[in-house]
Amino acid sequence: MTKQEAIDRIRSLVSTSARLPEAHWQQNAIGGILGRDCWNIRMEISIDYNDGVYWRKGRIDLEAEKEGFHVAIEIDRKSPRTKSILKLRAIHADLRLVIVREPGWMGDTPPGIDAVICVGTERGLGKRVFSHS
């Protein structure tokens, strides 16, 4: 599997996920979608990363593996956060992705990140599935 094939496959899978209002709900939903596609999923992977001044401890949201191909995924709300980018750069993976929970992000892919994917761009159209009244 090439990087582009993996990006395209994950993008097509994630696009079927509706946007959820809570980050952990979205993480579980994406983990389930990838798991049903025969990816081996691990969540909340501990990592040490450097923020430019200090070494810090953090967690990568998802790690997916299929056929020896490793993907590290951070899930953010509107755009890739600096902290997510730093954590992804610190982990050894074949592919580093940021999944944005709100569709419509139009920025450039940050250096060291392979792709930014928006949730719900085909089904759900980014609408909230749940609402807090």
pLDDT of residue 128: 39
% the chain with pLDDT above 90 = 56
| Residue the block writes with tokens 């081996």 | 40
Q: Residue 51: is its pLDDT beyond 70? A: yes
pLDDT of residue 62: 95
Domain boundaries, the chain: 3-118
What pLDDT, in 10s, does the model give residues 64-111? 999 889 999 999 988 899 999 999 999 999 999 999 987 677 788 899
Q: Give the separation between CA 7 and CA 28, rounded to whole angstroms.
A: 19
We find that the CATH architecture of domain 3-118 is 3-Layer(aba) Sandwich (3.40)
DSSP annotation of 51: -
Q: Give the separation between CA 17 and CA 34, rounded to whole angstroms.
A: 11
**pLDDT tier, 121 (very low <50, low <70, confident <90, very high otherwise):** low
DSSP E strands in 51-105: the ranges are 55-66, 69-76, 95-100
